[in-house]
């Protein structure tokens, strides 16, 4: 057990340091902070709402992550395959699952750092009013899980191809589907098309990240929503291990 954790930690440290070995990590963080600030205060109407909450902040996270998270995760396995180092990695004294977890946790920690650096938004709303910090915490938990779900999907697409651009495009399409599945205009259309099959509409909506993320924005940390995001992460990482094992055979 300790040996497995040691291997995962080693891989995670290696990957995390690789992010900051180039300017890409700093550029990503700056772009993320600028975009969150722009959409929160300019597009989201933070001051016009005249409310001490972060609704306008979390509202845009599913859409911001749609492009930013795949940009972070597209290189996780594609780069290893392109450089031919994946064979070396797979022959090291560790299991594919340990390598997958190490790489995933490193990328997730990087996204968590970028998310944590948005604390000035919390400071601002705290200075201007008296927000419910429980609701704020719930929003951050949901945002963190949402980023993890997108990242796990990107890890899967990255393991399927050695081309980073293809991995990026496929992951964006998959994540976009997970957004639109529960988007009101889409569910309204499905309701009109399938008026006698409401269960189909509810089933499609259940696969939407928006449906599950909305409660987190309200500060409701429901076990069902936690299970959804963890299931997406678990299934995607399991599929990644299947893809990598097929490369070894």
In the predicted structure, residue 22 carries a pLDDT above the cut 60:
yes
pLDDT at 157: 93
Its pTM stands at: 0.89
| Contact predicate 118/33, CB 8 Å | yes
Residues 189 and 198: their CA atoms lie apart, in Å, by 12
In the predicted structure, residue 5 carries a pLDDT above the cut 90:
no
Most confident of 42-51, 103-112, 179-188: 103-112
In the predicted structure, residue 11 carries a pLDDT above the cut 80:
yes
Mean pLDDT along residues 29-41: 90
**Greater confidence, 44 or 120?**
120
In this prediction, residue 91 has a pLDDT band, given cuts at 50, 70 and 90, of: low
Work out the number of other CB atoms within 10 angstroms of the CB of residue 71: 18
Mean pLDDT along residues 53-81: 87
- Percent above pLDDT 90 for the chain: 35
Tell me the per-residue pLDDT of 176-189, one tens digit each, with 9 for 90 and over. 988 888 777 777 77
pLDDT at 10: 85
Domain that holds residue 17: 2-248
**Number of domains present in the structure of the chain:** 1
Residue with tokens 């750092």: 113
In this prediction, residue 52 has a pLDDT band, given cuts at 50, 70 and 90, of: confident
Tell me the per-residue pLDDT of 115-139, one tens digit each, with 9 for 90 and over. 999 999 888 888 888 888 888 999 9
Of 101-110, 113-122, 160-169, the poorest mean pLDDT is in 160-169
- Percent above pLDDT 70 for the chain: 91
Residues 28 and 117: their CA atoms lie apart, in Å, by 12
pLDDT at 108: 95
Mean pLDDT along residues 194-219: 79
DSSP state of 162: S
pLDDT at 1: 56
């Amino acid at each position: 057990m300790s040996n497995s954790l040691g291997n995962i930690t080693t891989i995670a440290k290696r990957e995390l340091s690789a992010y900051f070995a180039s300017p890409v990590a700093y550029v990503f963080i700056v772009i993320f902070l600028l975009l969150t600030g722009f959409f929160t205060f300019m597009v989201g109407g933070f001051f016009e709402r005249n409310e001490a909450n972060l609704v306008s902040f979390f509202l845009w996270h599913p859409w911001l992550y749609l492009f930013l998270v795949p940009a972070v995760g597209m290189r996780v396995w594609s780069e290893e395959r392109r450089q031919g180092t994946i064979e070396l990695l797979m022959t090291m004294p560790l299991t594919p699952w340990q390598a997958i977890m190490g790489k995933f946790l490193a990328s997730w920690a990087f996204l968590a750092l970028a998310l944590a650096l948005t604390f000035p938004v919390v400071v601002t709303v705290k200075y201007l009013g008296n927000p419910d910090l429980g609701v704020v915490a719930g929003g951050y938990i949901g945002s963190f899980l949402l980023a993890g779900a997108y990242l796990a999907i990107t890890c899967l697409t990255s393991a399927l191809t050695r081309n980073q651009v293809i991995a990026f495009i496929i992951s964006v399409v998959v994540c976009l589907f997970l957004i639109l599945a529960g988007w009101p205009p889409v569910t309204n259309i499905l309701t009109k098309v399938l008026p006698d099959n409401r269960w189909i509409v509810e089933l499609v909506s259940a696969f939407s990240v928006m449906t599950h993320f909305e409660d987190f924005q309200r500060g409701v940390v429901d076990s069902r929503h936690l299970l959804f995001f963890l299931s997406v992460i678990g299934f995607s990482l399991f599929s990644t291990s299947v893809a990598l094992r097929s490369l070894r055979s």
